[in-house]
Amino acid sequence: MSVRKILVPLAGRPADEEVLATALSVAKAFEAQLVALFARADPTEALPYLGDGVSGQVIEDLMQAAREGANEAAARVKASLTKAAAAAGIPMAEKGGEAAMPSVRFVDVTGRRDEVVAKHSRLSDLIVFGESTTGVAGGTALEAAMMTADRPVLIAPKKAMAPAGGSVCIGWDDSPEASSAVHAAMPFLERAKKVTILCIGGKELDPGPGSTLADFLALHGVVADVHILDAAGRAVGEVLLEQAEKSKADLLVMGGYGQSRLVEFLFGGTTQHIRSHATIPVLMAH
pLDDT along the chain (286 residues), means of 10: 93 90 95 96 69 68 86 96 95 77 96 94 96 56 90 87 88 92 97 94 63 95 92 85 92 80 49 85 94
pLDDT in tens, 127-147: 999 865 544 444 689 988 998
Q: What is the pLDDT of residue 155?
A: 93
Whole-Å CA distances, 229 to 41, 167, 238: 46, 19, 12
Q: What is the pLDDT of residue 102?
A: 96
Q: Give 231: exposed, middle or buried? Use CB within 10 Å, 0-12, 13-18, 19+.
A: middle
Whole-Å CA distances, 203 to 10, 213, 214, 229, 231: 43, 20, 20, 8, 9
Residue 108: φ, ψ to 5°: -115, 115
The amino acid at 198? L
Which domains does the chain possess?
Answer: 5-156 (3.40.50.620), 167-285 (3.40.50.620)
CA-to-CA distance for 61 and 125, rounded, in angstroms? 40
